[in-house]
Amino acid sequence: MHNSNQEKMQRLLQDFYNLTNIKTCLYDSTENELCFYPQKLSDFCALLRQDKAMDERCKACDKHAFAECRKSYKQYFYTCHAGLQECVSPILFDKEIIGFIVLGQIKSNENADFSCLETSLPPKRKAALKAAFDRLPTIPPDKLSSAIAILDACTGYEYLKTLMKNNEGKIDVKIGKYVHENLAEMLSVPILCSKFRMSHSELYSVFKEYYHSTPAEYIKKCRLEYACKLLKETALPVGVIAKRCGIPDYNYFSKIFKKTYGVCPRTYKKGELPR
């Protein structure tokens, strides 16, 4: 991650912590830690991991959680071997996991009992571990789930802004490619927003900046241009071509085609163009 982007994410995690009191870590798609706030490990976990056997169990928990999240493409809630609540949530873009949000090292309720953990913890540090355990924040599961949803939206928005500012224009290329590859399918603003994890206003901004049109105008333009190609290069009936272009209503297809090119599709197919 570029330094400036990492600084933005760091500030986002800090703001999130100030509101929720939940420690957060961000990882890339290969499970490398990118940033965290306020610290990598709570006092309790840091003490626990000083014991080699406990450290191995902690690593095994983390590894299993990432694997489950990667397999399901969904949030994975679990209780770690030390009795703390944890969650790994995928950051998705274009149906691909581009990173992970990890929240946790918290108690699920105020009555969480340290005594039930004592038998599995290193005896030499029990007093210090008990004090650190008592200081851990308490967040109910439903609030933890809501917090993750909010943070996921925020990280997705920051990632989107990075894409939009990229000189290569990756976001417009992705959207344009998707539109051209799915002309025969239903294409709408809600569908594109869901596909690319964007709000309506963000989607309209992309189309205005890169295509100088609205999403509907751009999709219609692409469909009609594809129709022209099929009319010129194939022997397909006009009705079939209309369906392949995503405009199954033959009369409507003919109407907008003639309005755009000055002739009906059949006349265009014969090569009779307006003077």
The yes/no answer on whether domain 170-269 falls in CATH 1.10.10.60 is: yes
What is the average per-residue pLDDT within 51-60? 88
Spatial distance between the Cα atoms of 19 and 138, rounded to a whole number of angstroms: 14
Task: Tell the residue number behind the tokens 């489950």, with chain if given.
Answer: 68
- CATH class for domain 3-165? alpha beta
Report d(CA 155, CA 146) in Å as an integer.
14
Map tokens 């009779």 to a residue. Answer: 272
pLDDT attached to residue 275: 44
pLDDT-above-90 percentage for the chain = 28
Instruction: Answer yes or no: are the C-beta atoms of 120 and 82 closer than 8 Å.
Output: yes
Per DSSP, 27 falls in state: E
Query: Domain limits of the chain?
Result: 3-165, 170-269
The DSSP bridge partners found for residue 27 are 33, 100
Residue-wise pLDDT tens digits, 116-170: 565 666 677 778 888 888 888 888 778 877 887 887 777 666 665 565 454 344 6
Q: In this structure, how many other beta carbons lie within 10 angstroms of the beta carbon of residue 172? A: 17
Q: How far is Cα 69 from Cα 35, in angstroms, rounded to an integer?
A: 19
Per-residue pLDDT tens over the stretch 175-200? 988 999 999 999 999 999 998 888 89
Q: Which of 210, 221, 201 is closest to 173 using CA atoms? A: 210
Specify burial of residue 71 (Cβ count, 10 A radius: 0-12, 13-18, 19+): exposed
Which whole-number Å values give the CA distances from 155 to 28, 84, 94, 158, in the listed order?
12, 24, 15, 5
Q: Which two three-digit tokens encode residue 60?
A: 């095994």
